[in-house]
Chain A
Amino acid sequence: MARILDPKDPYYIDNPGRVKSIQAEMQKRNIDVYLGSRVRTMSFILDAFCPWRSYIIIPAEGLPTLFTFVIDAVRIGDETWLDEDHVRAYAPMGGMDQISALSEFIKDDLGVTSGRIGYEDGVSTYTAEGNLTHWEFSHLNDALPGFEWINAHDIIDGLSIIKDRGTIERFRKASLIVDEGHKAARAALENGGFKGMTETVIAGIAALAMRKAGSVSEWNFAGLNEISSGYRTGLGACTPPTNRVIQAGEPLMLDFHSMFQLALGDHSHNYLIGPATDRQRWHADNFVALVSTVLDNYKAGASPSSLAEILLDCAESRGCADFIVPGCEHGIGLFGDEWRIGATADGPIPYWTDPDHVYRENEMVVCAMQYQSPEEGIGFRYENDILILKDGCEFMSKYPLGIEEIK
């Protein structure tokens, strides 16, 4: 049975209103049917977790219809706000394969036999982006002769960039859940608890705590909770946990992920497992100062490039510019919406963050900073969901910034 939307729910999202906004944009562009295929599009419209290849068909008027892999259609029908008639499935059956199901629905059920179809294409660093593949496009094009295909993903991207109240509340909750993961991890590490503990185990301890607090997934497909210890902290910004044992005298980076109603908690915290050397402490103090400086400058009107300049200036002044990765953030939205900042795909390098994108109030990003000295076997990472405000920003994880030495 479909979920009933309740405007009094603090996490309420006006999904029917979102559909109407999309349809208004479609009308402006003379698009008769929108065929969405990206994970972020499913999350934005359906407000349900769609892990399998899915398609959403949005007509010029009325409700959209989802087509998903048959094994998951009933579960999605139970979780989304759309009724049973608008949650459909494709399957390896005659007439029910993806191409037949979609093309015949457009022609027969919607009665649209010519016109303009908006679809989603592009390139992404994110494997799970979900743009229409060449095979899908070619076969749909053959099955729907007489249609003009218009790449129109920026409709969804533009509408999803400013977060509404319910979405913001969900991110606040997801971030507080991540804090529970960090508390549990901290408790497990202290008093020698780290001895013999592997990266995978500390990831699991945090995962359990976050699940108990209401998270439904460690959502990140780069290893769920990302952990690095010792020399691995200096290997960059993607560290799926390994069976490496955490050691005394080494740095430790914990990057935890929670998901609450499709909102994505993402917070990284760092430790030095004692005894720390003066050089390690110097690196750690540099990193905390850099993060603090950048966070102080997030506000409406700032841009990725202006923040990167502030970061570089601060790093130069501290003599640690050789160790920073010159970027401060990645995009964030409901599940599937990660990485790119802003809504446009026509920046200096297409489909990458536009460095001159100007942040607006109620936009969200993950402040994401990486510091690394691989030769010294040390690195740190900071991530936190932040909400852009008129004169500053809100850090959604409240876990204190700092790099503590665990004795």
Chain B
Amino acid sequence: MSDKHVYLSAAWRDEALRRLQSELPPEKMNNITTSMSNIYKNCPGGADMFLFIECIDGKVTRVETGTTGAPDGEFKITGDYETFARISRAELGSQKALFTGKLKLKGNMAKALKLASLADRINKVLSQIPTEY
């Protein structure tokens, strides 16, 4: 059996929640309450997928993945599967992906600016998950 989890699978999702909760205590998340829905376009197989992360008072409370019914988040980030995959593999910075238009952000930009460093922390944790893309 492979040690790697398939990206965005149920097993990957559970591992993501476990790692985020253990490695990012509320104080490291600035005790923030927010949520983010990432929409993955052009996934392998053709369907769109989503990754939803919710944080309440700094604690990561929900990580959800799936193909339909993405929960509404305070922020919505849309991009190609490959762009998200490159970010998760630490091959591409999320800021650069946004600044070059590879990712499209929807939500209050002024608030998003305050959360940029937190999103980076989340991405760093997720990039450590042994993943099969």
Q: Which residues B66-116 have CB closer than 8 A to chain A?
A: 78-79, 97-106, 108-111, 113-114
Interface of B, helix, strand, loop or mixed by DSSP: mixed
Is A93 close to B, CB under 8 A?
A: yes
- The answer to whether B111 and A94 have CB atoms under 8 Å apart is no
| Complex: A104 Cα to B102 Cα, angstroms | 18
Nearest-neighbor residue (CB-CB) of B100 within chain A:
A94
Which of A85, A94, A101 sits near B101, CB closer than 8 Å? A94
Interface residues on B, range: 10 to 19
Is A274 close to B, CB under 8 A?
A: no
The interface residues of chain A lying within 8 Å CB-to-CB of B79 are: 94
| Complex: A93 Cα to B105 Cα, angstroms | 7
Interface-side segment among A70-78, A187-195, A237-245: A70-78
| Complex: A64 Cα to B97 Cα, angstroms | 30
- The answer to whether A89 and B106 have CB atoms under 8 Å apart is no
The interface residues of chain B lying within 8 Å CB-to-CB of A159 are: none
- The answer to whether B105 and A95 have CB atoms under 8 Å apart is yes
Is A88 close to B, CB under 8 A?
A: yes
- Render A46-90 as a binary contact track against B, CB cut-off 8 A, 1 for contact: 000000000000000000000000100110010000001101111
Is A91 close to B, CB under 8 A?
A: yes
| Complex: A93 Cα to B101 Cα, angstroms | 6
Which of A70, A74, A91, A94 sits near B102, CB closer than 8 Å? A94
Nearest-neighbor residue (CB-CB) of A108 within chain B:
B106
The interface residues of chain A lying within 8 Å CB-to-CB of B109 are: 70, 73, 88-91, 93, 96, 101
Q: How far is the CB of B73 from chain A (nearest CB, A)?
A: 14
Interface residues on A, range: 20 to 34
| Complex: A389 Cα to B19 Cα, angstroms | 71
| Complex: A100 Cα to B106 Cα, angstroms | 9
| Complex: A89 Cα to B116 Cα, angstroms | 14
The interface residues of chain B lying within 8 Å CB-to-CB of A73 are: 109-110, 113
- Render A96-128 as a binary contact track against B, CB cut-off 8 A, 1 for contact: 100011001000100000000000000000000
The interface residues of chain A lying within 8 Å CB-to-CB of B98 are: 93-94, 96
The interface residues of chain A lying within 8 Å CB-to-CB of B108 are: 84-85, 88-89
- The answer to whether A77 and B106 have CB atoms under 8 Å apart is no
- The answer to whether A77 and B110 have CB atoms under 8 Å apart is yes
| Complex: A104 Cα to B114 Cα, angstroms | 22
Q: How far is the CB of B114 from chain A (nearest CB, A)?
A: 8
Q: How far is the CB of A16 from chain B (nearest CB, A)?
A: 21
| Complex: A402 Cα to B95 Cα, angstroms | 61
Is A92 close to B, CB under 8 A?
A: yes
The interface residues of chain A lying within 8 Å CB-to-CB of B104 are: 94-95, 100
| Complex: A87 Cα to B78 Cα, angstroms | 22
| Complex: A70 Cα to B98 Cα, angstroms | 14
Nearest-neighbor residue (CB-CB) of A101 within chain B:
B109
The interface residues of chain A lying within 8 Å CB-to-CB of B114 are: 74
The interface residues of chain B lying within 8 Å CB-to-CB of A104 are: 106
- The answer to whether A84 and B106 have CB atoms under 8 Å apart is no
Q: How far is the CB of B107 from chain A (nearest CB, A)?
A: 9
Which of the listed residues A74, A90, A96 has the most CB atoms from chain B within 10 Å of its own CB?
A96
- Render B20-31 as a binary contact track against A, CB cut-off 8 A, 1 for contact: 000000000000
Nearest-neighbor residue (CB-CB) of A104 within chain B:
B106
The interface residues of chain B lying within 8 Å CB-to-CB of A89 are: 108-110, 113
| Complex: A74 Cα to B97 Cα, angstroms | 23
- Besides the contacts A94-B98, A104-B106, what 6 more A-B pairs have beta carbons closer than 8 Å? A74-B110, A74-B114, A88-B109, A89-B108, A89-B110, A89-B113
11 pairs, CB–CB < 8 Å, chain A vs chain B: A88-B108, A88-B109, A89-B108, A93-B103, A93-B105, A93-B109, A94-B104, A95-B103, A95-B105, A96-B105, A96-B109
Q: Which 3 A-B pairs give the minimum distances between C-beta atoms?
A: A95-B104, A73-B110, A89-B109
Report which A residues bind B (CB closer than 8 A): 70, 73-74, 77, 84-85, 87-96, 100-101, 104, 108
